Structures are given as C-alpha cells and as structure tokens.
C-alpha cells in the first residue's frame, strides 16, 4: 500500500484501526520509516477507537523516528489518561507543560506546537485533575484553573468553536469548587461566543449541543438546558455513540450534585433501565421422569401467559437494555420480548452451544414440542444481529464436561455485566425474576440468582409462576419421553478461578551489570508480599525473571494482590529509577476469571491449573498500560458483584490480545476510593 492509500483507509468511518495497522506493517515496516508521520495518525485513531494500551505501545515505537515530537508526546499522555494511569500520564505531560507554560513572555514555542495543540496540552492537565476530583474534591479548583488557562491562550478565541471546550469545563469545575459567580461568568461567555459566531449546533455535533446544555444548566436555565441536552442525547442515540452518551450522563450527574433545580428524569426516560433476567426453564424430561411436580410444563397457554407477564413488566420498567441466558422457558421469552421492544440485548451462554442445546434448550428431544424451542433459540440469535449494541457471548467456549459450577459462574457474570452497563448509563439496574416459591430450585437456578442479587443490595421485580400455572395449565398429562444421552463428562475437577499475570515494563532493558541486584531486591519484595494476609490467599504461584503467575479462588483476592503491585499500601518495592525503569510504577497486571482444570503438580505436593482460560489470562498483561491492572470482562463482572465498595472496574475499550489471540473488552481495575 502507498502512503495515500493507507491514510484514505485510516480516515474512513468504518475502519478497524488495529486490523489496518497489522496489514500495513506486514511483511515489513519500510513505509513507516519513510513516513514516520504515520505514527501520530495511527496513535490518534487508536485513542479515538478505545485502544489506549496499543496507542502507547505504537507511540513509544514512533519516538525512535520522531525525536521530541510534541504531538506524539501529547498523544502518549492522552493514551495514558484514557488507559486510567493518571500518575503515568502526569509524568509524560510534565515536559510538554514546561514547553507551553514558560513564564518568560519572550520565550518562543517549539515550531511543532500550534495554538490548538497548546490548548489541548494545558486542557489535558485540567482533565487529569478533574479525574482526581473523584477521590479528592479539593482538586476541583486546580482543575478549573488549568482549563481556564487553556481557554485564555492567545488565538484560542478565534478557533472555529471559539475555544468553548476548555471554557465550559472550567465553568463546571469552578462550580464544583464552590465559585458560583466565576462559573456563571464563564458559562455566559461560552453562550456569547457561540452566539457571536453564529455557530448553530448541527445534527452531527453532539458535543456542541451538550456544551449549550451544560452552559444553560450552570446558569439555571433549566428548560433551555434540557432542550439542548435532549438534542445531544438524540444525536448520540441515532449515531450509536453510547460511550459518548455515558460520558454526557456522567457529567450531567456530576453537575446535579451542585446545581439547584437540575434533574435527570428526561435522561432516565431516554436511556431507560437495565434489566437482568433469570427464570425457570420448561420442565425437562428428566425432571418429569423422576416424578417431580410440574413447575413450568411445556404448555402453550402457559407459555403465552408467561410471555405476556414479562412484556407487561418490561413496559412498566421502561427496559432499554437486557441481560439473560437463553434456556427454554423464561430466558427465551424474555429475549423475544426485548427484541420486540428493539432494545439492546446481551446474552451469555455458560458453555459451548451444542452442549447447551442438550442441557437447556431442547434436552436432546426431537418431538415438535421441543423443536419449537430450538427454533425460537435460533430466531433470537438471528434477530440479535440486527439490534444496536447487542451481542451473544460465552462464559467459556469449551464444552460442558459436567461442570455444574458453570451455571453459577454465568449467573454472576450476567449480573455483573448488567451492573456495569447500568453504571455506564448512570442508572440503577433491576432484576426481573420468573420464580415459583412453592418448589425448591438448584444451584445456578432462579433462586440462587435471586439470592446473589439481593446479597449485592440490588432491586428486583418478581413474576410468580405458581398462579400462572394454576390458571393456564391446571392439568398436565404426564408424557413418557425418551431421555437423551447425557453430555460428555470431564475426568478432572474444573473449578472457576481468578488468575493474575504480571511483569515489569522495561525489565528486558536492565543491564547485566544491574540485573543481579535488581533480581535480589525484586525477589525480597515478592517474598514479603506473599507472606502477607493478601499473598496468603494465593492457591498457586510461579515466577520467572520479572514474570508472575498467581491463581486465587476469588476475584476480590486477586484484585487485592494486583492493587498491591500497582498501588502499594505497604512493603518496599524496588527503587525503579535506579534500574532505568522510570519514576512511576512499572508493573503491568492482567486479570481473568474462568473454569480451569485442576491437576497435581509433578514436582510438588500442590495443585496447579491449566486450560484455555489460563492462556487467555496470560495474553492480557502485555497490552496493559504500565502502572495499571487490566481485567477481562468476566473478571470485571465477578468483581463488580462481590466487592463494589472496595474496588471498581472501568472500561478501557476493545483490545487485540497479545499474539492476536482474540479481541476483547478490557477494564481497568482500581480501588474504589
């Protein structure tokens, strides 16, 4: 490909930047050496598409060809911010800030820094401090000062948007800091600049409409603010910009805490609620054969009645996003109802689809009464492809192998995903549960689902299956059906475990002269960490050089260990700067949870763990930003359900894992406070 062909493809709206990056660097990178400006173009696109870790990696490579390039250095800092590494971002931004904030009035800017880049550099400092405000509200004033400094730069007022981006952020941060008059003055200036230039927010400019809404909100013009915010929300919904929509809502709720009269009912109406569903499956032939009473007989009148009850509840709850599995009975009926609402729908299957059919859809039966459930299952999967932002995923892509724990794992995963999605939309998640309380259930069923949801203190709505059955299926003949052969069983225990891989960024560059001293200091630190209460929770651990592999029973224990690596509260870590590893924490930590095979170690009397999910865990750490812990979606979901008060998981985008293993959503894990 020629340079122009690469740039043309990069600027297309449908480009998948990571795929293009791989394509235009194979079989060699000659064109990149000839045209190093490709590094800044691709780094910017990677950041925009939510790949901060890959952006950092590419920008670092680009530094070899673009020495002291200010735009590339800014992109490095921006990628670190987007990746969640605030401290690292500050260390990267500091040299740039010195260039653009020289107190000497006669000092000249570097030739590669124009007005917009200078504004962006200074505003990024405000953004970093704005993020810090979540933990420390006293940083709001400092954030406001940096945003205002960016807005007041010579030439910024003459930019196409009048420099309203840093100015409205300054106005908001001044209000949060308690300076109402100063905030109102800047908000008025934002509106005046937009009006004086005749700028009319177009149908494609969501952020300018949001700026108008934010300025009016700060000034107490509630009706005008709501009008502009609704316009911004409409644009975001129409364009499928759900990430921007979540950012807008987060900022709106941030202001609600300080601006009188602000309310988010219209946003709640637009965005609706996130519903996670669990409900009884249709009675299996095995259940009937064992003589259990009918709970959900395969009766058409009852099926229609249950579907109607689900539809009614979804309307009452204003359901816009749904999470469920897809077993026969409640799950499929819920999924159909969400599809009919044209809602966002996410389905999680516990294991490989062919085994799921046998255990949870048609039970291996071939009669017409059971084939209809298989057909409805297929229809849901076909319809989901046409729904916005909807998907089907597997808790594990491997077979069932008799691992009953996969059902409970899937329940926890579905619940956690729903809570995280609700958090992105700044709303409270709700569970809709189809249940018959007159009969006991099994692990991974509706009863255990409800219990874990209640343990996490979330709200639920119940549909009582008992009265519906009495009314619509009072007498059900017992049909003798041939029991299908069971799904194949495994020969090893297959528990769900939380796995951690970690390394030290830059370790391979330590000179042989310093290596022995580093390894001694590093091993002493790890020995101390494993002897602590946190380290003693490990069920298995191994290390090699700087590499670390640790297995835990619970996601919360794995996270506590990870936090001590990237954000230590005790112990003495090595002096990283003495080994040219930088002044900030160089640990990169990858976290994942899933079913693994447990087997005896060949050389020690302890268990070790193997399987595809160990491989997946190992592929996360190399794409993690230094100083951070990144987790897979299943891990983040489990962590969200088990310890929301201690830890938080924040989305950092979809990443290609190391060695092109897979493309997955990753989350930055941090302490909640």
Handedness of CA 526, 655, 407, 614 (dihedral sign): negative
In a domain, 30, yes or no: no
Burial of 360 (C-beta count, 10 Å sphere; 0-12/13-18/19+): buried
Q: Quick one: pLDDT band at residue 616, thresholds 50, 70, 90?
A: very high
pLDDT digits (tens, 9 = 90+) for 382-435: 999 887 667 899 999 999 998 999 999 999 999 999 998 887 766 789 999 999
Residue ending a domain, choose from 241, 269, 297: 269
661 within domain boundaries: yes
Query: Which among 670, 409, 423, 672 has a CA at the least distance from the CA of 559?
Result: 670
Q: Is residue 188 part of a domain?
A: yes
Q: How many residues in the chain?
A: 673
Percent of the chain with pLDDT over 70: 90
Average pLDDT of the segment spanning 122-145: 90
- Mark whether 284 and 232 lie in a shared domain: no
User: For position 462, which CATH number holds?
Assistant: 3.40.50.450
Mention every residue, 6+ apart, whose C-beta is less than 8 A from residue 47.
55, 75, 78, 79, 82
> How many alpha carbons lie under 13 Å from residue 294 in its C-beta half-sphere?
17
Q: Within a domain: residue 13? A: no
241 and 327 co-located in one domain: no
Residues 264 and 281 in one domain: no
**Could you tell me if 239 and 276 lie in one domain?**
no
Confidence of residue 650 (pLDDT cuts 50, 70, 90): confident
Cis, peptide link before residue 553, omega less than 30° from 0: no
Q: What is the DSSP letter of 657?
A: P
Nearest one of 401, 398, 431, 397 to 414, comparing CA atoms? 431
Whose tokens are 């504004």? That residue is 119
What is the pTM for the complete model shown? 0.75
Q: Are 375 and 401 in the same domain?
A: yes
Beta-carbon count within 10 A of 590 CB = 28
194: three-class secondary structure by DSSP: helix
| Domain containing residue 576 | 496-671
Alpha-carbon distance of 31 to 42, in angstroms, equals 13
Q: What are phi and psi of 246, to 5 degrees?
A: -65, -40
* Chain Cα centroid distance, residue 75: 22
Mean pLDDT computed over 156-180: 92
Q: Could you give the CA distance from residue 235 to residue 502 in angstroms, rounded to a whole number? A: 41
User: Distance (Å, rounded) from C-alpha 87 to C-alpha 80?
Assistant: 9
Return the higher-pLDDT residue of 132 and 635: 635
511 with 460, same domain? no
Q: Looking at residue 103, what DSSP letter applies?
A: S
pLDDT value for 232: 86
Write down the pLDDT at residue 547.
95
Indicate if 278 and 260 belong to the same structural domain.
no
Kindly report the CATH number assigned to the domain that includes residue 132.
1.25.40.10
pLDDT at 15: 76
pLDDT beyond 70 at 604: yes
Task: Classify the C-alpha dihedral 444-445-447-449 as positive or negative.
Answer: positive
Per-residue pLDDT of 456-503, as tens digits, reads 889 999 999 999 999 998 776 665 567 766 667 777 889 999 999 999
3-state secondary structure 287-310: HHHCCCCCCCCCCHHHHHHHHHHH
pLDDT of residue 247: 64
pLDDT digits (tens, 9 = 90+) for 21-66: 888 887 677 888 889 899 999 998 887 776 776 787 788 788 888 8
- Give the pLDDT confidence score for residue 58 in this predicted structure: 85
pLDDT at 244: 64
437 in the same domain as 565: no
More confident residue, 598 or 443: 598
Instruction: Assess if residue 578 is contained within a domain.
Output: yes
* Residues 156 and 205 occupy one common structural domain: yes
Q: Are residues 106 and 69 in the same domain?
A: yes
pLDDT at 291: 82
Q: Do residues 75 and 212 both lie within one domain? A: yes
CA 229/CA 213 separation, integer angstroms: 5
Whether the per-residue pLDDT at 299 is higher than 60: the answer is: yes
3-state secondary structure of 406: helix
- Is there a contact between 321 and 344 (Cβ–Cβ < 8 Å)? yes
Average pLDDT over all residues of the chain: 87
Q: How many CA atoms lie within 13 A of 565 on its CB side?
A: 34
Q: Which of 269, 303, 325 lies at the terminal end of a domain, its last residue?
A: 269
Whether residues 531 and 553 fall in one domain: yes
Confidence at residue 169, expressed as pLDDT on a 0 to 100 scale: 92
Q: Is residue 490 part of a domain?
A: no
Inform me whether the pLDDT recorded for 269 exceeds 80.
Answer: no
Q: Which residue has the higher pLDDT, 660 or 549?
A: 549
Of the three residues 457, 472, 487, the one that is the final residue of a domain is 472
Residue 484 falls inside a structural domain: no
Residue with the bigger pLDDT between 292 and 557: it is 557
Q: According to the model, what pLDDT value does residue 382 have? A: 95
Asked if the structure places residue 606 within a domain, the reply is yes
Report residue 442's pLDDT band, with 50, 70 and 90 as the boundaries: low
pLDDT at 268 over 70: no
Task: Summarize the confidence of residues 283-309 as an average pLDDT.
Answer: 91
Q: Judge whether residue 188 has pLDDT over 60.
A: yes
Distance CA 115, CA 166 (A): 13
Which residues of 171-266 form beta strands (DSSP E)?
none
Q: For the chain, what is the domain count?
A: 3
Tell me what the mean pLDDT of segment 6-15 comes to. Answer: 84
């Amino acid at each position: 490909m020629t340079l122009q062909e690469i740039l043309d493809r990069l600027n297309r709206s449908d480009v998948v930047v990571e795929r293009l990056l791989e394509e235009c660097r194979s079989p060699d990178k000659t064109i990149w050496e000839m045209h190093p400006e490709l590094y800044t173009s691709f780094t910017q696109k990677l950041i925009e598409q939510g790949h901060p870790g890959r952006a950092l990696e590419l920008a670092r490579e680009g530094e070899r060809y673009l020495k002291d390039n200010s735009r590339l250095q800014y992109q490095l800092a921006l990628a670190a911010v987007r990746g969640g590494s605030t401290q690292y971002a500050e260390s990267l931004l500091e040299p740039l800030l010195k260039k653009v904030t020289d107190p000497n009035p006669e000092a000249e800017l570097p030739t590669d820094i124009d007005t917009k880049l200078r504004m962006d550099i200074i505003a990024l400092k405000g953004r970093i401090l704005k993020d810090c405000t979540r933990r420390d509200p006293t940083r709001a004033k400092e954030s406001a000062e940096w945003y205002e400094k960016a807005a007041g730069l010579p030439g910024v007022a003459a930019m196409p948007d009048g420099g309203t981006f840093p100015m409205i952020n300054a106005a908001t941060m001044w209000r949060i800091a308690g300076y109402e008059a100063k905030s109102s003055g800047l908000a008025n200036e934002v509106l005046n600049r937009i009006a004086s230039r005749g700028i009319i927010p177009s149908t494609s400019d969501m952020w300018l409409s949001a700026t108008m809404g934010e300025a009016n909100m700060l000034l107490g013009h509630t009706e005008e603010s709501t009008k502009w915010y609704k316009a911004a929300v409409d644009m975001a919904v129409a364009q499928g910009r759900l990430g921007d929509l979540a950012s807008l809502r987060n900022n709106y709720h941030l202001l609600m805490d300080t601006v009188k009269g602000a309310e988010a009912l219209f946003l709640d109406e637009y965005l609706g609620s996130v519903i996670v569903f669990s409900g009884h499956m249709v009675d299996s032939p095995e259940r009937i054969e064992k003589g259990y009473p009918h709970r959900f007989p395969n009766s058409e009148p009852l099926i229609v009645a249950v579907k109607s009850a689900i539809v009614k509840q979804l309307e009452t709850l204003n359901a816009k996003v749904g999470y469920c599995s897809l077993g026969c009975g409640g799950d499929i009926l819920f999924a159909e109802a969400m599809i009919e609402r044209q809602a966002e729908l996410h389905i999680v299957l516990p294991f490989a689809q062919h085994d799921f059919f046998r255990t949870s859809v048609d039970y291996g039966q071939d009669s017409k009464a059971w084939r209809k459930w298989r057909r409805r299952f297929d229809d849901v999967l076909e319809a989901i492809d046409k729904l916005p932002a909807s998907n089907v995923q597997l808790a594990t892509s491997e077979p069932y192998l008799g691992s009953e724990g996969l059902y409970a794992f899937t329940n926890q995963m579905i619940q956690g995903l729903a809570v995280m999605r609700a958090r992105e939309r700044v709303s409270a998640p709700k569970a809709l549960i189809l249940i018959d309380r007159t009969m006991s259930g099994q692990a991974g069923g509706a009863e255990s689902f409800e219990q874990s949801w209640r343990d996490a203190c979330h709200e639920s709505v119940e549909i009582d299956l008992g009265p519906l059955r009495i009314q619509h299926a009072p007498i059900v003949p017992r049909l003798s059906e041939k029991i299908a052969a069971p799904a194949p069983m495994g020969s090893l225990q297959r528990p769900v475990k939380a796995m951690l891989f970690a390394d030290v960024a830059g370790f391979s560059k330590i000179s042989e002269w310093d290596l022995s001293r580093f390894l001694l200091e590093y091993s002493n630190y790890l020995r101390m960490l494993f002897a602590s209460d946190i380290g003693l929770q490990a069920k298995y651990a191994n290390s090699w050089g700087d590499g670390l592999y640790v297995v835990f029973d619970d996601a919360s224990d794995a996270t506590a260990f990870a936090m001590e690596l990237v954000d230590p509260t005790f112990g003495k870590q090595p002096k990283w700067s003495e080994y040219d590893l930088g002044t900030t924490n160089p640990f990169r930590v990858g976290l994942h949870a899933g079913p693994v095979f447990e087997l005896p170690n060949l050389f020690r009397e302890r268990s070790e763990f193997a399987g595809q999910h160990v491989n997946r865990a190992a592929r996360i750490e190399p794409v993690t930003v230094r100083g951070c812990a990144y987790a897979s979606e299943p891990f983040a979901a489990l962590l969200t359900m088990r310890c929301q008060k201690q830890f938080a998981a924040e989305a950092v985008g979809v990443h290609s894992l190391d060695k092109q293993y897979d493309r997955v959503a990753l989350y930055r894990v941090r302490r909640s406070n």
